[in-house]
Amino acid sequence: MFTPVWTSKARETYGELRVKAEASLKARRRSKKTKATKDEGLFKQVHKCIQHLIRNPKHPGLATHEYRSLSNPYDEKGKVFEAYAQNDTPGAYRVFWCYGPHRRQITIIAITPHP
């Protein structure tokens, strides 16, 4: 298990996704609809991705690979990785992360639609 460390940008994005999903869930319950909305589904996928990262960053469902366009916030020679929260979706969300700053920690750098 790894302990997550969040950049302010990643924490803000995660919070925004959560707020949208919770608002959508409340509205859906009031209208007695059963099918989850896109906002609910997106948050669920991002949350699940982060849970997999914490448990096993090499989980095959994450399709984790090195991403060279972002710099590591702790070590300019350190690697940054991209994990798939969604796949085969236009604007699929990705979670960008790195190891550190300490042992058994993962820093969530950003949560964003695929560039």
Task: Give me the DSSP letters along 90-107.
Answer: TT-EEEEEEE-SSTTEEE
Kindly report the pTM of this predicted structure: 0.92
Local confidence band at 115 (pLDDT 50, 70, 90 cut-offs) = low
DSSP state at residue 62: G
**Residue numbers of the domain that contains 12:** 3-113
pLDDT digits 0-9 by tens, 20-76: 999 999 998 888 888 888 999 999 999 999 999 999 999 999 999 999 999 999 999
In whole angstroms, how far apart are CA 12 and each of 1, 16, 19, 32?
23, 6, 11, 30
| Tally of domains in the chain | 1
pLDDT digits 0-9 by tens, 22-36: 999 999 888 888 888
Q: For residue 45, what is the domain's CATH number? A: 3.30.2310.20
